[in-house]
Amino acid sequence: MLYFSKIKIITVVITTLILVYFSFSNFFKFDDNLIKNKINLGLDLQGGSYLLLEIDNQPILSQTLQNKLIDIKKIFNEKSIKAKNFSIENNKIFFETDILSISTVQNILLNKKDDDLNPYFEKFKTHQLVVENNENFFSVYLSDYGIVILNSSSLDQAVEIVRRRVDETGTNEPNILKRGNNRILVELPGLEDPARIKSLLGKTANLTFQFVSSVENDGFGTEILKFDNGLEEATVSKRIILNGDNLVDAKPRMDTQNNETIVSFTLDRVGSKKFGRATTENVGKQLAIILDGKIISAPSIREPIVGGSGQISGNFTFQSATDLALLLRSGALPAPMNIIEERSVGPDLGKDSINAGIISLIVGFCLVVIFMIYKYRIFGLIANFALIINLFLLIGILTLFGATLTLPGIAGIILTVGMAVDANVLIYERIKEEIKKENNNVIAFDSGYVKSRTAIIDANITTLIAAIILFLMGSGPIKGFSVTLGIGILTTLFSVYFIARLLSSIYVKTNKDKEKLI
């Protein structure tokens, strides 16, 4: 065990030097372009906000079923199938057919070719719909797979919109990630108070233009909506003249005539046409501008608006006009989102945590180092040297992977310092036992290393198992702990078996006749 080949020594030294170099890049600024990686500080250390959003997909599900129902009715009409009592309850479509058409209906609904009812059968060999029937009473609902696809497409869209909105606020290096099938994680480093982002993300931003209707029924149906101030309400037609999809730009602006803040918008070509036609035909009527089911304002149309641009007024402050413009520019979310978890840390707490972490690391390190020298003298020095290298290796690897260091992560490093000497202690204690039986120091050292090996490997693997499970199950800061603990075990084994052993072997070989070597 004390023999090292030249190649091995060179490899160990080079690996060590590279990783030490990497770890130094965190403390000093190098002018080369070799290392771009750096350890990232977690939100708990640098300060910032963490938001977990959950998409409420129920509205999309209801909408999808409504559309399916329309499709089904249309197809039944085309094929002259008699059906009645259509209804949607608990996310299921119910209807009744006549007895003779049961099998025809089944064939239509579970068609093996792509059509409106089963849009992806040919691709995925599975139906979007589940069809159940008790005689002529049918119930139709989305299959599990259909729901998964629905969720994942709404998640994709929502992530895109969230990213646009966050980017527009000019937040530094935001981190936006999907979590599971209906959640989005937003990390905002350096942002202490996420109030504005929260209110921006809390809005679906569904913009529609609908006419205020005086008659009860104008052919499209009407609905009563509240104004944004919550006081007044108005009856509006359900007919949507235009929605936010047709907007290409929106900006806050100062209206010099009335001295109030407005949002001006520009429409795309299709939108301009639609808007132009609707305003031409309805001069004198009130057009309600509705955001997320609330009327922002309902101005009267004084003249046709054909230029493809317009403006929204509604008692805005400059901030609220800016936010509305931002929401309109970035587009509507496919479904409403709720903030289900929020954590924010101020920068001074982060700084305090870093300081406390570093001080306890230094103190813990010094205590262990002194203890080891006191206990093992020269071999204590060797173990301590290995411990220092171990720390650099650990930091070097964290740098190499661009890992995120959290406060529990620092605790993991300190714990590694305490536990890392264990392997050397096991070896040295075993060597002490061997020296009692064996006069030859070199042989005693050799068998000390050999005989302690299984215990060291077993002991470290058990801790590694705990670290891996933490990594898989943990979140955020805790994951940071598992990373430093786990990598710490690997670097410990490396530093003990290569560095400490190399130094020990050199020392033992040159002092092999010395009595009471350890």
Q: For residue 351, state whether it binds other proteins (rule: CB under 8 A).
A: no
Q: Report the distance separating Cα 325 and Cα 251, nearest Å.
A: 5
Q: Which is nearer to other proteins, 119 or 364 (CB)?
A: 364
Q: How far is the CB of 416 from other proteins (least distance, A)?
A: 8
CA 500 – CA 425 distance, rounded (Å):
12
Stretch near other proteins under the rule CB under 8 A, chosen from 3-11, 153-161, 209-217, 459-467: 459-467
Cβ neighbors of 493 (< 8 A, separation 6 or more) are 423, 456, 460
Q: Which stretch in 76-84, 152-160, 232-240, 333-341 sits in contact with other proteins by CB under 8 A?
A: 333-341
Interatomic CA distance for residues 476 and 290, integer angstroms: 39
Out of 292, 474, 490, 512, which residue is the one contacting other proteins (CB under 8 A)? 474
Per rule CB under 8 A, is residue 509 in the interface with other proteins?
Answer: no
If binding is defined by CB under 8 A, does position 283 make contact with other proteins?
no
Distance between first and last Cα of the chain: 17
Among residues 13, 18, 254, 356, which is the contact residue for other proteins, using CB under 8 A?
356
Output 63 or 199, the one with its CB closest to other proteins.
Answer: 199
Residues of span 18-37 touching other proteins by CB under 8 A: none
- Range 358-417, binding other proteins (CB under 8 A): 359-361, 363-365, 367-368, 371-372, 375, 407-408, 410-411, 414-415, 417
Of 150, 148, 143, which is closest to residue 127 (Cα–Cα)? 143
Query: Does residue 517 touch other proteins according to CB under 8 A?
Result: no
Applying CB under 8 A, does 320 fall inside the site for other proteins? no
Q: How far is the CB of 429 from other proteins (least distance, A)?
A: 5
Q: Looking only at residues 186 through 245 of this chain, which bind other proteins when binding is defined by CB under 8 A?
A: 192-193, 195, 198-199, 201-202
Structure tokens at 244: 């936010």
**What's the min distance (Å) between Cβ of 48 and other proteins?**
11
Give the whole-angstrom CA distance, residue 236 versus residue 287: 9
Return all residues near 422 (Cβ < 8 A) that are at least 6 apart: 456, 459
Binders in 477-496 for other proteins, by CB under 8 A: 477-478, 481-482, 485
Q: Pick from 442, 228, 249: which is nearest to 327 by CA?
A: 249
Residue 319 binds to other proteins (criterion: CB under 8 A): no
Please count the residues of the chain: 518
| Residue 114 lies near other proteins (rule: CB under 8 A) | no
- Which is nearer to other proteins, 44 or 446 (by Cβ)? 44
Number of chain residues interacting with other proteins (CB under 8 A) = 76
Which of these ranges, 11-19, 34-42, 126-134, 458-466, lies near other proteins under the rule CB under 8 A?
A: 458-466
Quote the least distance from Cβ 150 to other proteins, whole Å. 20
Segment near other proteins (CB under 8 A); pick from 228-236, 278-286, 440-448, 462-470? 462-470
The DSSP annotation for 91-159 comes to: TEEEEEE-GGGHHHHHHHHT-SS--SSSTTHHHHSS-SEEEEEETTEEEEEE-HHHHHHHHHHHHHHHH
Our finding on whether 473 is near other proteins (CB under 8 A) is yes
Contact pick of 357, 396, 448, 488 for other proteins (by CB under 8 A): 357
- For residue 177, the one-letter residue type is L
Distance CA 31, CA 37 (A): 13
Q: What are the residues facing 448 on neighbouring strands?
A: none
Query: Binding other proteins by CB under 8 A: which of 2, 69, 466, 503?
Result: 466
271/476 with CB nearer other proteins: 476
Residues 48-67 that bind other proteins (CB under 8 A): 52, 54
Residue 159 vs residues 178, 337, 426: alpha-carbon distances, Å = 7, 11, 52
In whole angstroms, the minimum distance from the beta carbon of 186 to other proteins comes to 13
Radius of gyration of the chain (CA): 35
* Closest of 281, 312, 283 to residue 208, by C-alpha: 312
| Beta carbons of 128 and 145 less than 8 angstroms apart | yes
Which member of 248, 455, 490, 503 binds other proteins (CB under 8 A)? 455
Interacting span for other proteins (CB under 8 A) from 128-136, 145-153, 308-316, 345-353: 345-353
Phi-psi region of 133 (alpha: psi -120 to 50; beta: other; left: phi over 0): beta
When asked if residue 425 is in the footprint of other proteins (CB under 8 A), the reply is yes
